[in-house]
Amino acid sequence: MLHSRKLLYINEIARCGSIRKASERMNVASSAINRQILALEEELGAQIFERLPRGLRLTAVGELCIEHVREVLKDYDKLQARIRNLKTPQMGKVSIVTTIGLAAGPLPHLMGKFFAEYPRIRVLLRGDGGITTSMPVVSGEVDLGLGFNIPALPGIRSLANFDVPLGAVFAPEHPLAKQSQVSLADLVEEKLVLALPGTSLRDAINLAFSPLTVTVEPLLETNSTEMLRTLLRQGPFVSILNPLDVLMDCRSGNLVYRPLSDAHIRPQPMKLLARARATLDAATSIFVEFLIADLIEMIREVSAGTAGQPV
């Protein structure tokens, strides 16, 4: 090891919120971990953790420490990956956080293609949502973040930006499927099922409807893309979705996506991001290149309106 086990202890306690849980996860005695933390706090001359009745919480000094700790641990992981790559090319591990919709939508198909080409690269993928997509990237918990409407934040850099259009989605037998485009006015009287208020997708939908002098009253509001897709496949429901979330259903003919014809509607910005100061290792660079290329092709497909069109 090129670093002290104290760093591992600090990182695990910060994740778990208690020495006992960290002890169980690391299979190390609680007393041993506590001694190491107390010794480090004495060395620093400041508390790293605030002792609470139900656990521990990082102090301001602790927040500075955990940023350094995770940077050191990430650098060590990269060193190990580079050593492995010298022995066996195209090995490594990539971690990414993305939205629940993307994780359940196009990414499984994309990951299948990736593993077929790079079977020795491991991927850790977690679903998240909204602005929180960037937080694990900033903290160094993951290498990459992929999500919608992510604001510019200190500590992150954009690797790629995409404009993804919104569209109406419904079953192939729905009357609107006969149209090549659909207007918002067409949707007002339909049985709408929409993303939950507060999500980035719903914010975009509300912005789209804002010029209309009508009240939108969906039958269902949920943060589960899978539930929306299941309802839409049953019919006669209609939703407004990011087409990437339903691309696989459209390709298989289970759902139909139609672009919205209203000129004022703006596409959703999607961003692939990484830490500003982090250097991407070989495995992560390979994954990023593959991800960008495949996403570009998917977005071209949905933007052209060919997904779900009769062949």
Q: Return the pLDDT at 277.
A: 80
Do 109 and 291 meet the contact criterion of CB atoms below 8 Å apart?
no
Show Cβ contacts of residue 221 under 8 Å, excluding neighbours closer than 6 positions: 193, 194, 195, 196, 197, 202
Q: Return the pLDDT at 237.
A: 95
Residues in the chain: 311
Q: Which DSSP string do the residues of 108-144 spell out, in sequence order? A: HHHHHHHHHH-TTEEEEEEEE-GGGGTHHHHHTS-SE
The domains located in the chain, with CATH, are 5-68 (1.10.10.10), 92-163+269-303 (3.40.190.10), 167-267 (3.40.190.10)
d(CA 77, CA 277): 16
Q: Return the pLDDT at 2.
A: 53
Strand partners, 193: 220
134 by Cβ neighbours in 10 Å (0-12 / 13-18 / 19+) ranks as: buried
Residues of the chain with pLDDT under 50: 1, 308-311
Q: Return the pLDDT at 310.
A: 39
Q: Return the pLDDT at 89.
A: 52
Q: Return the pLDDT at 1.
A: 47
pTM summary value: 0.66
Please count the other Cβ atoms lying within 10 Å of the Cβ belonging to residue 232.
23
Q: Return the pLDDT at 273.
A: 93
Q: Return the pLDDT at 311.
A: 32
Cα–Cα distances (Å) from 304 to 32, 243, 267, in that order, read 61, 11, 14
